[in-house]
Structure 1
Amino acid sequence: CSVDAALGARSKLVLLHGYVWENGELYYRPRSLKALGVSNAVETDGRELIVHTTLHWISTPHNNLTVLGAV
């Protein structure tokens, strides 16, 4: 994301509070992803998917999840 490119790891941790440092790598916190519309969905067969809420400005929200990948 552009924030990642513009700020260093230390600055992001202090300014945004949405990251966690684990094993020498910087990850988004789950609450940060949720604020961006990213969450997980569990299918009836037990599969977990990462989904993003699709926003349609003119229509009423329904069937508005886009699958980003499987966990």
Structure 2
Amino acid sequence: MTYTPLPPLPNSQKIRQQAIHTLISQLGIAKASIFLGELLWQPTDSLQLKDQLFATETVTSLYETILAQRNAKDPQQIT
């Protein structure tokens, strides 16, 4: 396997804005507000959540998934 440097990470503020916009467009403002309120005020064990979400993944498999999704959006992008 050859090493390919990782591209720079997107701006976290832009990610938050995109996520909120997606929630509102998919759920509507009322349901999105309820969801975000619950999410922000409920205690969360982020390490447990990470283990649940990515239990079967490796760094390599996640990287390959990210590249595949990025290439599906923009096949001309250099990785």
The question of a shared fold, defined as TM-score above 0.5 by the shorter chain, is answered with no
> Which structure shows the higher strand fraction?
1
Query: What TM-score bracket applies, with the shorter chain setting the length?
Result: under 0.3
> Which structure shows the higher helix fraction?
2
Q: Normalising by structure 2, report the TM-score.
A: 0.25
Answer with 1 or 2: which has the greater Rg: 2
